[in-house]
Amino acid sequence: MSSLLFAPLTLRGVTLRNRIGVSPMCQYSASDGFADEWHFVHLGSRAVGGAGLILVEATAVEDIGRISPKDLGLWKGAHIDSLARIARFISRQGATPGVQLAHAGRKASTAPPWEGGGAVAPNAGGWRPVGPGPEPFDAKSPAPEPLDADGIARVVRAFADATVRARTAGFRVVEIHAAHGYLLHEFLSPLTNHREDRYGGTFEGRSRFLREVVQAVRQQWPDELPLLVRLSCTDWTEGGWTVEDSITLARLLAKEGVDLIDCSSGGAVPGVKIPTGPGYQTRFAERIRREAEIPTGAVGLIRSAMQAEHILRTEQADMVFLARELLRDPYWPLRAARSLGADVAWPPQYERARN
């Protein structure tokens, strides 16, 4: 029986060589938003290693939208060239280059994890973050500046402008980051959005910002290229965003031209106990795929080739995204192909190690 994990997946006019995606993973290694040699090697090695889709980490659409001062960015044209070099290399290895466009919202201006991850003050190179309201993420975080209607419109334009730059850089897939407690998720979740204007209150109001971003991005992104959205499919706590909300939203996003939902979870508020374990989020991908009738990607503690194959064969998702497993082993796809009996091409430079 042929492997589904190594079957091509077509989204609009783009065909991925297999159904393995490199999940966007922040490297906290940029300077003023610019990609450097670290990003080239990090992303390029995963393309050499056989993944089908390589998603560049959360890439900020404006400078105050970075999680940390060390995040990548696409808020100015000068960022294009260093990312274009990476996209070209990925394409030459037979993989598809993509980029996740993001805004960190109230979780912005923090130090890299290995520097403690705490808030970075303006006098130390940080800035005041923005959010749906004035509530900070936690007791150690600064109070964000609430976005007014003009500020929301500015961020929508920033996503659209970054999309144009992404296309110029040669990316073939764009993913909008609306998960993990960052700005778009902050507007979605009733735990973090207490607004009383047209961007708050009801499901329609809380989802308006994301829907406007999707519309603006889709207008700038060529019709033949796919658009993905990463959602936190549940907040894992009472009174928060639910998988039912995600299903309803996914139906709306499909009508707006979104081609796949990347199904993650959590991150809106601190202190939530998440029942992690192998494949703990695949249930969300399965329900959204079935009930919203849109392709989905599963992510979260997917480690073995047989586990990934099982997710696809049981129709829980259309592709899988791997994160930590691909940090441990950039060549996981090549090893997975061998264990599943799939015949995939190796880079000719590495062919001598195939057997």
CB 333 within 8 A of CB 45: no
CB 323 within 8 A of CB 299: yes
DSSP assignment of 269-323 equals STT------TTTTHHHHHHHHHHS---EEEESS---HHHHHHHHHTTS-SEEEES
- Its pTM stands at 0.98
Q: What is the pLDDT along the chain (355 residues), one digit of tens a residue?
A: 699 999 999 999 999 999 999 999 999 999 999 999 999 999 999 999 999 999 999 999 999 999 999 999 999 999 999 999 999 999 999 999 999 999 999 999 999 999 999 999 999 999 999 999 999 999 999 999 999 999 999 999 999 999 999 999 999 999 999 999 999 999 999 999 999 999 999 999 999 999 999 999 999 999 999 999 999 999 999 999 999 999 999 999 999 999 999 999 999 999 999 999 999 999 999 999 999 999 999 999 999 999 999 999 999 999 999 999 999 999 999 999 999 999 999 999 999 998 8
Length of the chain: 355
Q: Enumerate domains of the chain plus CATH numbers.
A: 9-114+121-343 (3.20.20.70)
Percent of the chain residues past pLDDT 90, beyond the cut: 99
How many C-beta atoms surround the C-beta of residue 257 within 10 A? 16
User: What's the DSSP call for residue 235?
Assistant: -
The tokens for 179 are: 């998960």
Amino acid type, 42: H
- 173 vs 333: CA distance, rounded Å: 20
Q: Catalytic site residues?
A: 182
The tokens for 317 are: 């998702």
Continuous segment of H or E residues that includes residue 336: helix 332-340
